[in-house]
Amino acid sequence: MVEDAKMTDADEPKKTEEKTEEKEVKPPPTPPLEAAGLRLERLLGGSKAAEEASSSSSFYTNPAKVVRRWLTTSSGTAGSATLEDIGSAAVKLLETCPEVLSSFKKDEVEAMDTGAEDAADAKPEEPTFLTVAARPYEAWLISLAVRCFYKTAEYDKAYALAQKGIDMVSAQFEDSRIVSSVVSAFYPLLARLFRWRSLVLEHMPNSVVASLRPQMAQAYNMASLRRDADTQATLLNCMLRDLLHSSQIEQAQKLLANSTFPETASNNQLCRYLYYSGRIQALRLEYTSAFSNLSQSLRKSPKNTGMGFRITVQRLLVVVQLLMGEIPDRHIFYTEGMQKELDPYLRITQAVRQGDLAVFGKVVAEHAQRYKSDHTYTLISRLAHQVVKAGLRNLHLSYSRLSLQDVAERLGLPSAQSAELVVAKAVRDGVLDATIHHEEAYVQSHDLVDVYATQEPSEALHRRIAYCLTTHNDAVKGMRYPPDAYKKQLEASRGLRRRGRADDDEKEVDDSDLDDDLDDY
């Protein structure tokens, strides 16, 4: 008996070990790219659960919106994807993927094939190929491959692959077998491919870029006709960026004037459009409109991400504000994450505020390369006139009468004649309220006029009210209104009314019964 007990005690740990081993055996985790593809298939209604659903049409209410949200949630997966991951996902989920595999090297394709064979050996189940989401998923993989080639500076391969992806998606629009509501799922993906191709073209010869401009204009017209807001907004921004990159400011202004930005476009594309519009207007001396567009772009840009874009907008906004004759607030230059990038612009702001041309020229010469790389050197070169204006204001506040020779020495001008011309222009522009005595060679300042007796306060108040109204309208447009949400409030109010009427009827019945009882009594 003792031996039997010992044997049973010895067998118990073996059984527990076997159970733990069985528990530890788990299926391998699904790779992120494959998981994203399966999720897209489920969202577009291609899964078994969707087929068993009673109303399958509900999945296709707005495929473009579904794909747009799916791209947002899959951005982390796309950022860490490699060519090997893209190839293995394509082999696993797509029956035919020549566009993706033909652009890779042979060793990469072989590695993907062996990986697919290992996966097939590990899971001898029926293949899980995508059905509804096959072509959208293929377009997404192509955009990821273009991104990989772009980061490794293989621009020829990236351009060829992006062009194949655009041709593939464009062919889907012409396929009559595809339901028109499902075609809208390609809109965000086509916009993504056009954007990557535009970035690749910046590193290609100018002849290639010039040859594709008519094609981009035609694609923009087609996107407008089929109400493709994603592609329309992306192509408009790409064309504006291309024209600015090639210094064709007048052509960019014509495109800006003869095109309309779609209202349903994404917030990121709207921020880019406002930035390009402000940059074009600043180069064309329309500083007020440029300041308004750049301010909106900075306000609408995401706060948690896109620091590089916000820095770019802030640089241009500071320069435009200086060209308008205003001095930016000091706290702008000490914003978290922007201090180092905005330091050259803080120096130029201080030089403009001092009103000394010598200091201004020294700062510009010291940071000239930085301003050229930021594409603000042309605008900063116009600030010399603002420096002179600031210096004249300081002299106007300090002296009631000053000789032109002293003005030239204080401002760093070459001669008294130059000072006289500068002062005359400032008086004509309304910067100074003074009189030039040519024979005596001096400037006589007038008494300061009460600002509140002029129209300037009312105009400033009007600008602030207009800004508040614009902000309110933008906030109302940006809010999300759930469908049929008002019906719940309406039903609730009707329910309260019915209850109130029922209570009134009960009270009337009780009062009538009481009257009958009193009559009987």
Identify the band that residue 339 occupies on the pLDDT scale cut at 50, 70 and 90.
Answer: confident
Do the domain assignments include residue 274? yes
- Answer yes or no: do 130 and 192 share one domain: yes
End residue of a domain, out of 284, 305, 326: 305
> What would the pLDDT profile of 290-300 be if each residue is shown by its tens digit?
898 899 888 88
End residue of a domain, out of 159, 175, 204: 204
- Answer yes or no: do 193 and 281 share one domain: no
- Answer yes or no: do 82 and 131 share one domain: yes
Number of domains forming the structure of the chain: 3
Evaluate whether 236 touches 196 at the Cβ level (below 8 Å). no
380 or 452, higher pLDDT: 380
- Answer yes or no: do 227 and 146 share one domain: no
> What would the pLDDT profile of 456-494 be if each residue is shown by its tens digit?
788 888 888 988 888 888 888 777 777 666 666 766 766
Find where tokens 């750049």 sit: 294
**What whole-number distance in Å separates Cα of residue 239 and Cα of residue 219?**
11
- Answer yes or no: do 74 and 196 share one domain: yes
* Mean pLDDT value across residues 208-219: 84
- Answer yes or no: do 196 and 235 share one domain: no
Residue 387 has pLDDT above 70, yes or no: yes
Highest mean pLDDT among 23-27, 176-180, 354-358, 482-486: 354-358
Report the mean per-residue pLDDT for the chain.
Answer: 75
DSSP string covering 63-82: HHHHHHHHHHHTHHHHHT--
Residue 497 has pLDDT above 50, yes or no: yes
Do the domain assignments include residue 19? no
Do the domain assignments include residue 407? yes
Per-residue confidence (pLDDT) for residue 413, from 0 to 100: 72
> What would the pLDDT profile of 402-456 be if each residue is shown by its tens digit?
777 767 777 767 777 777 777 777 777 666 667 777 677 777 676 666 667 778 7
Per-residue confidence (pLDDT) for residue 272, from 0 to 100: 92
Helix, strand, or coil (residue 15): helix
CATH code: domain of residue 424: 1.10.10.10
- Residue 443's φ and ψ, nearest 5 degrees, are -115, 130
- Answer yes or no: do 194 and 234 share one domain: no
Identify the band that residue 56 occupies on the pLDDT scale cut at 50, 70 and 90.
Answer: very low
Residue 186 has pLDDT above 80, yes or no: yes
Per-residue confidence (pLDDT) for residue 275, from 0 to 100: 93
> What would the pLDDT profile of 126-155 be if each residue is shown by its tens digit?
556 777 777 888 888 888 888 888 888 888
Do the domain assignments include residue 252? yes
Lowest average pLDDT, out of 135-139, 169-173, 175-179, 495-499, goes to 175-179
Identify the band that residue 52 occupies on the pLDDT scale cut at 50, 70 and 90.
Answer: very low
- Residue 60's φ and ψ, nearest 5 degrees, are -110, 20
- Answer yes or no: do 39 and 155 share one domain: yes
Do the domain assignments include residue 229? yes
End residue of a domain, out of 150, 173, 204: 204
Inter-CA distances, 332 with 249, 382, 478, 507, Å = 29, 22, 26, 67
Residue 178 has pLDDT above 80, yes or no: no
Share of the chain above pLDDT 70, in %: 70
Do the domain assignments include residue 117? yes
* Mean pLDDT value across residues 48-57: 44
Per-residue confidence (pLDDT) for residue 519, from 0 to 100: 52
Q: pTM for the full model?
A: 0.74
Per-residue confidence (pLDDT) for residue 24, from 0 to 100: 52
* Mean pLDDT value across residues 488-501: 66
Do the domain assignments include residue 317? no
Inter-CA distances, 377 with 54, 245, 291, Å = 63, 14, 18
Residue 264 has pLDDT above 50, yes or no: yes
Look at phi and psi of residue 497 and say left if phi exceeds 0, alpha if psi is from -120 to 50, else beta: alpha
- Answer yes or no: do 125 and 188 share one domain: yes
Write out the two tokens for 255.
């495109």
- Answer yes or no: do 283 and 422 share one domain: no
Per-residue confidence (pLDDT) for residue 49, from 0 to 100: 45
Highest mean pLDDT among 77-81, 121-125, 169-173, 442-446: 169-173
- Answer yes or no: do 169 and 291 share one domain: no
- Answer yes or no: do 78 and 149 share one domain: yes
Amino acid at 124: P
Do the domain assignments include residue 131? yes
Q: Which domain holds residue 46?
A: 31-52+60-204
> What would the pLDDT profile of 3-48 be if each residue is shown by its tens digit?
444 445 545 555 555 554 445 556 667 777 777 778 877 887 755 4
Evaluate whether 322 touches 383 at the Cβ level (below 8 Å). yes
Identify the band that residue 124 occupies on the pLDDT scale cut at 50, 70 and 90.
Answer: very low
